Chain A
Amino acid sequence: MRQRRLLAGRRNARAFVTMASMIALAVTACKPEPSRATPSVNAQTGAAPANGEVDLGADDGQWVRPAKDFASTRFSALSEINTTNVKNLKSVTTFSTGVLRGHEAAPLVVGGTMYIITPFPHFVYALDLTKPGLPAKWSYNPKPELASQGVACCDVVNRGLVYDNGRLFFNTLDDHTIALDAATGQPVWNTKVGDINLGETITMAPLVVKGRVLVGNSGGEMGVRGWLKALDESSGKVVWTAYHAGPDSDVLIGPNFKPFYAKDRGANLGVSSWPPDAWKIGGGTMWGWISYDPDADLIYYGSANPGPWNPEVRPGDNKWTSTLFARRPETGEAVWAYQLSPHDLHDYDGINEQILIDLDIGGRKRKTLVRPERNGYVYVMDRLTGEVISANAYGFVNASSGVDLKTGALQYNPEKEPKVGKVIRDICPAAPGMKDWQPSSYSPKTGMLYIPHQNLCMDEEGVSANYIAGTPYVGMNVKMYPGPGGNRGQVQAWNPVTGKQVWAVKEDLPVWSGTVATAGDLVFYGTMDGWFKALDARTGALLWQYKTGSGIIGQPITYKGPDGHQYVAVLSGIGGWAGAIVAGGLDPRDSSAAAGFVNVTRDLPSKTTKGGMLYVFSL
């Protein structure tokens, strides 16, 4: 290991002199490099906005936001590492983050620097890619309130930083959005956007669009009211707030709001689709992913599930929870919305990623939004209108029977509706859905979506509804177990045009990491027991794997180092909702712990241990 690191160091050192001028340009002048993206990627991602700015996300040398580009493809046109030589991939550097909780974030690479953020307490490190061993240039500790750990529902995760215009932006569990000078690590501004005393936390990675830093809250478990806020990139001031329940004025629904389906039309549905005032504690938070189409000038994201969890307490559609929104980034104004899971029954948060790609469907070129949803369907939608073009199940679903493409309505299976005093068995997918937050990637080369997901079902027993104020929380008796086939996770390639699976690789444990796809026809992902793997993007064949120190639930990236060579990086460190049994030290005898997830991950402590570590690989 040491020898490999030294070798890599020498290579980096050699490259240092020749790359120095470029780094200086990228870091100190804060001017983005010209795009090196291939034309095909450019067309897919819409990387050249109308305003003439160049999006670094289209530059395959760098990785400036978790989803790589505004379209959220997580695709890199780099191909130095490919199906032929990936077997020679070696670990060249490791870096301990010093934190033991779940590492869900993506590293970033800007110029000659890699930036990583840890789970609580959110250390930020800038690592010098031009020097042997990647020494830290600076580190930053935001010192979040310890109390916020007691408010987070699932683990004290952070899903990543974002870079724009010389600055890094990130959120803290105690509800601060912070801008750092990327060159020095000095804070530029720090805005408190929520309050842990109201049950709010923040775990999502922000997205910066047109001078707006977009941030959403977590905390549906505490009965908070969900929102997305836009902060001014230069000052940190809140420019607009869009709530996901309540009157139209709060949801930023105005005269230009044109939902595709009748079910989503009407005045103040965010009030009338609830019992009186219930929208005020109705959840609909936003802790996942946002995409942006510069040509249409629309941001896209979904809101989380409604609260209280028990559906019989909140008759109605509970708008605008579990809803996909298209909004104008500058004003927040809603242009269309589509409720994915109206009156959600099973905790199917609608916060998953949406990938913006142009597809030939039925002889027509369609500007689509592709979304592997928690409820078990891959939605292919017209991103300009909100029409659902197709919605096909990508795993075993019995909680609903499909989506009516005429009305847009999800067809619930009434037999699986939870009720107090009744045990409902065999609900598929389980509460974390067919897929949770862990993001997919899309290769324009293969035309396939690479979906990391779980295969879990659950029993819900409404009998133990015995919450008593002032005493330890006793959850509903939810028990999860493996779905059909017995494997708890899977990575599958999906053709969004045909709406069919192309191949699938079964994994014993839920796959809680993201995927990344490359022009080398590779797909990278990690497993909860710590294997980092490369698959052939066309066949799913396992071409390479490496055992990291802890389970992987992070988002892999790939970039071109200052030496001109391709690297792959990932954070290892078990945790998150799925890995809480290890990161949180939960009692395996308590089957309902972690809201039922412990029942299906009881073996995890024997398969991995906690500990955050960055791994960097190259040929």
Chain B
Amino acid sequence: MTAHFLRLLPFGALLLVSGAAPRNALRICADPNSLPFSNAAKEGFENKIAELIGKELQRPVEYVWWAQRRGFVRNTLTAGSCDLVVGTASGVEMLATTRPYYKSTYVFVSRHDRGLGVTSLNDPRLKQLRIGVQLVGDDFANTPPAHALANRGMTQNVTGYTVYGDYRQPHPASRIVDAVAKGDVDIAVVWGPLAGYFAKRSPIPLDVVPVRPRVDLPYLPFVFDIAMGVRRGDSTFRASIDGIIERRHASIDSILADYGVPRVDVSLARQGAGQ
């Protein structure tokens, strides 16, 4: 199944769905293999939030699947085959973003039994540890921790794991968390929602600790507001989504808590099961 994951699932669906969807369907642009965010079996928290939005709008939810890569927005939302991206950094220029509905952070992930207690990029012990970090390829940008560690002269003790991972696997992004559990690296710096979800499911107890500083000077943020995205110009639709985010924030918070999303915008109590 996994070898043919991509072949079978997502992109045939692109054509079917956009042609056959009910006229009033809420068409979601999403990655079919990107847990904990979304997948074709609708097991991600963005799938749950999409269902909630669909109920509020009284419209059936349909998906247009496309891998989350450069060109995702262009090939889905901008192409007009779907109307809503459930997770995007707030203020991204490619689309029109709604009010943010959560704020998360990069986190340190390490084995609980190691008792490392690293909370800051400035912790001198990091230089002695093997560190896993999420990387993209030679595509003009990288993740904040990749830059922050390099700025501190840490490159020889750093192992890169591509954020895209091996797309043949059912949740390609989990490899960096697995590497911590297996002991391939001592600690990893991972985007919060990923780390929270996979740490929760790890048979080996893992510590998930927000990265400090939140903004590495001169300006390298580790915390991000996450919003939903609509096409630029769809201001009426955006306003209706904004309204739902405001009305249903408690339900959305509860979904995020179920998935262990580390939050920096709500109290720990509201995060419930989050570690």
Query: Which positions in A face B, CB cutoff 8 Å?
Result: 145-147, 149-153, 195-199, 219-224, 275-278, 281, 283, 305-310, 312-315, 347, 420-421, 431, 462-476, 478, 584-587, 589-590, 592-593, 595-596
Report chain A residues within 8 Å CB of B55. Answer: none
Q: Is the CB of A149 within 8 A of B139?
A: no
Tell whether B211 is near chain A: CB-to-CB under 8 Å: no
Tell whether B10 is near chain A: CB-to-CB under 8 Å: yes
Report chain B residues within 8 Å CB of A310. Answer: 141-142, 146-147, 150
Other-chain contact of B143, A314, A421, A467 (Cβ < 8 Å): A467
Q: Is the CB of A199 within 8 A of B78?
A: no
Which residues of chain B from 195 to 221 have any CB-CB distance to chain A below 8 Å in the complex? 217-221
Report chain B residues within 8 Å CB of A469. Answer: 134, 143, 163, 173, 191, 194
Shortest Cβ distance from B93 into A: residue: A590
Report chain B residues within 8 Å CB of A149. Answer: 71, 75
Can you list 17 contacts pairing A with B, beta carbon distance less than 8 Å?
A149-B71, A150-B75, A199-B162, A220-B138, A221-B70, A223-B160, A276-B157, A308-B135, A308-B138, A308-B160, A309-B138, A309-B142, A420-B220, A470-B31, A472-B85, A473-B136, A587-B94
Tell whether B66 is near chain A: CB-to-CB under 8 Å: yes
Report chain B residues within 8 Å CB of A145. Answer: 6-7, 11
Tell whether B89 is near chain A: CB-to-CB under 8 Å: yes
Q: Given contacts A146-B11, A221-B139, is CB(A421)–CB(B219) below 8 Å?
A: yes
Interface 9-residue window, one of B113-121, B224-232, B248-256, B265-273: B224-232
Report chain B residues within 8 Å CB of A198. Answer: 166-168
Q: Is the CB of B143 within 8 A of A221?
A: no
Please, what's the 1-or-0 string for B59-82, where 1 marks a CB less than 8 Å from any CB in chain A?
A: 000000011111111110011000
Please, what's the 1-or-0 string for B133-176, where 1 marks a CB less than 8 Å from any CB in chain A?
A: 01111111111101100110001111110111011100001000
Other-chain contact of A587, B5, B75, B141, B232 (Cβ < 8 Å): B232
Tell whether B193 is near chain A: CB-to-CB under 8 Å: yes
Tell whether B98 is near chain A: CB-to-CB under 8 Å: no
In angstroms, Cα B167 to Cα A151, docked, is 11
Q: List 5 tightest A-B contacts by C-beta distance, closest first.
A: A307-B138, A223-B137, A197-B167, A221-B139, A223-B162
Report chain B residues within 8 Å CB of A222. Answer: 69, 136-137, 139, 162, 164
In angstroms, Cα B262 to Cα A236, docked, is 50
Q: Is the CB of A471 within 8 A of B162?
A: no
Give B243 Cβ to nearest chain A Cβ, in Å: 23
Give A505 Cβ to nearest chain B Cβ, in Å: 31
Q: Given contacts A465-B147, A587-B232, is CB(A195)–CB(B137) below 8 Å?
A: no
Q: Is the CB of A309 within 8 A of B94?
A: no
In angstroms, Cα B135 to Cα A310, docked, is 10
Report chain A residues within 8 Å CB of B159. Answer: 276-278
Shortest Cβ distance from B85 into A: residue: A472
Report chain B residues within 8 Å CB of A308. Answer: 135-138, 142, 146, 160
User: Which residue among B155, B217, B224 has the maximum number of chain A CB atoms within 10 Å of its CB?
Assistant: B155
Q: Name 20 extra pairs, CB < 8 A, besides A197-B6, A281-B137, A468-B226.
A: A150-B75, A153-B70, A222-B137, A223-B162, A276-B159, A278-B160, A306-B138, A308-B137, A313-B150, A315-B155, A315-B156, A467-B141, A470-B191, A471-B226, A472-B68, A473-B68, A474-B94, A586-B74, A587-B78, A592-B93
User: Which residue among B138, B164, B191, B221 has the maximum number of chain A CB atoms within 10 Å of its CB?
Assistant: B138
User: Which residue among A222, A278, A472 has the maximum number of chain B CB atoms within 10 Å of its CB?
Assistant: A472
Q: Is the CB of A223 within 8 A of B136?
A: yes
Report chain B residues within 8 Å CB of A151. Answer: 67, 69
In angstroms, Cα B67 to Cα A130, docked, is 46
Shortest Cβ distance from B95 into A: residue: A472
Report chain A residues within 8 Å CB of B151. Answer: 312, 420-421
Report chain B residues within 8 Å CB of A309. Answer: 137-142
The count of residues in chain B whose C-beta lies closer than 8 Å to any C-beta of chain A is 72
Report chain B residues within 8 Å CB of A281. Answer: 135, 137, 160, 162
Q: Is the CB of A223 within 8 A of B135?
A: yes
Give A249 Cβ to nearest chain B Cβ, in Å: 22
Give A190 Cβ to nearest chain B Cβ, in Å: 15
Q: Is the CB of B11 within 8 A of A147?
A: yes
Other-chain contact of A465, B87, B137, B144 (Cβ < 8 Å): B144
Shortest Cβ distance from B139 into A: residue: A221
User: Which residue among A150, A278, A305, A464 has the maximum number of chain B CB atoms within 10 Å of its CB?
Assistant: A150
In angstroms, Cα B151 to Cα A420, docked, is 8
In angstroms, Cα B151 to Cα A151, docked, is 30
Q: Is the CB of A475 within 8 A of B70?
A: yes
In angstroms, Cα B139 to Cα A347, docked, is 9
Shortest Cβ distance from A419 into B: residue: B151
User: Which residue among B68, B73, B141 has the maximum number of chain A CB atoms within 10 Å of its CB?
Assistant: B141
Q: Is the CB of B34 within 8 A of A470?
A: yes
Q: Given contacts A151-B67, A313-B146, A470-B68, is CB(A307)–CB(B141) below 8 Å?
A: no
User: Which residue among A195, A276, A465, A590 has the maximum number of chain B CB atoms within 10 Å of its CB?
Assistant: A465
In angstroms, Cα B6 to Cα A464, docked, is 31
Tell whether B264 is near chain A: CB-to-CB under 8 Å: no
Give A156 Cβ to nearest chain B Cβ, in Å: 10
Tell whether B88 is near chain A: CB-to-CB under 8 Å: yes
Q: Is the CB of B6 within 8 A of A147?
A: yes
User: Which residue among B87, B143, B151 has the maximum number of chain A CB atoms within 10 Å of its CB?
Assistant: B143
Shortest Cβ distance from A152 into B: residue: B71
In angstroms, Cα B224 to Cα A148, docked, is 30
Q: Is the CB of B139 within 8 A of A595?
A: yes
In angstroms, Cα B75 to Cα A153, docked, is 12
Tell whether B108 is near chain A: CB-to-CB under 8 Å: no
In angstroms, Cα B137 to Cα A306, docked, is 9
Q: Given contacts A197-B167, A223-B164, A585-B78, is CB(A283)–CB(B70) below 8 Å?
A: no
In angstroms, Cα B162 to Cα A219, docked, is 13
In angstroms, Cα B206 to Cα A349, docked, is 41
Other-chain contact of A313, B66, B69, B155, B218 (Cβ < 8 Å): B155
In angstroms, Cα B71 to Cα A468, docked, is 15
Report chain B residues within 8 Å CB of A276. Answer: 156-157, 159
Other-chain contact of B139, A153, A463, A585 (Cβ < 8 Å): A153
Tell whether B92 is near chain A: CB-to-CB under 8 Å: yes
Give A539 Cβ to nearest chain B Cβ, in Å: 40
Tell whether B244 is near chain A: CB-to-CB under 8 Å: no
Report chain A residues within 8 Å CB of B143. Answer: 465, 467-469
Q: Is the CB of A472 within 8 A of B73?
A: yes
Tell whether B14 is near chain A: CB-to-CB under 8 Å: yes
Shortest Cβ distance from B14 into A: residue: A146
Q: Is the CB of B155 within 8 A of A275?
A: yes
Give B38 Cβ to nearest chain A Cβ, in Å: 8
Give B72 Cβ to nearest chain A Cβ, in Å: 5
Tell whether B102 is near chain A: CB-to-CB under 8 Å: no
Report chain A residues within 8 Å CB of B139. Answer: 153, 220-222, 307, 309, 473, 475, 595
Q: Is the CB of A585 within 8 A of B74?
A: yes
Q: Is the CB of A465 within 8 A of B220?
A: yes
Report chain B residues within 8 Å CB of A466. Answer: 89, 141, 144, 221, 224
Give B255 Cβ to nearest chain A Cβ, in Å: 15
In angstroms, Cα B164 to Cα A195, docked, is 13
Report chain A residues within 8 Å CB of B73. Answer: 472
In angstroms, Cα B218 to Cα A421, docked, is 6
In angstroms, Cα B140 to Cα A222, docked, is 11
Other-chain contact of B150, A147, A196, A312 (Cβ < 8 Å): A312
Report chain B residues within 8 Å CB of A420. Answer: 147, 150-151, 220
Report chain B residues within 8 Å CB of A283. Answer: 137-138
Shortest Cβ distance from B77 into A: residue: A472
Report chain A residues within 8 Å CB of B66. Answer: 150
In angstroms, Cα B7 to Cα A614, docked, is 32
Give A344 Cβ to nearest chain B Cβ, in Å: 9
Q: Given contacts A198-B167, A220-B137, is CB(A150)–CB(B71) below 8 Å?
A: yes
User: Which residue among A307, A308, A431 has the maximum number of chain B CB atoms within 10 Å of its CB?
Assistant: A308
Shortest Cβ distance from B156 into A: residue: A275
Which residues of chain B from 92 to 112 have any CB-CB distance to chain A below 8 Å in the complex? 92-95
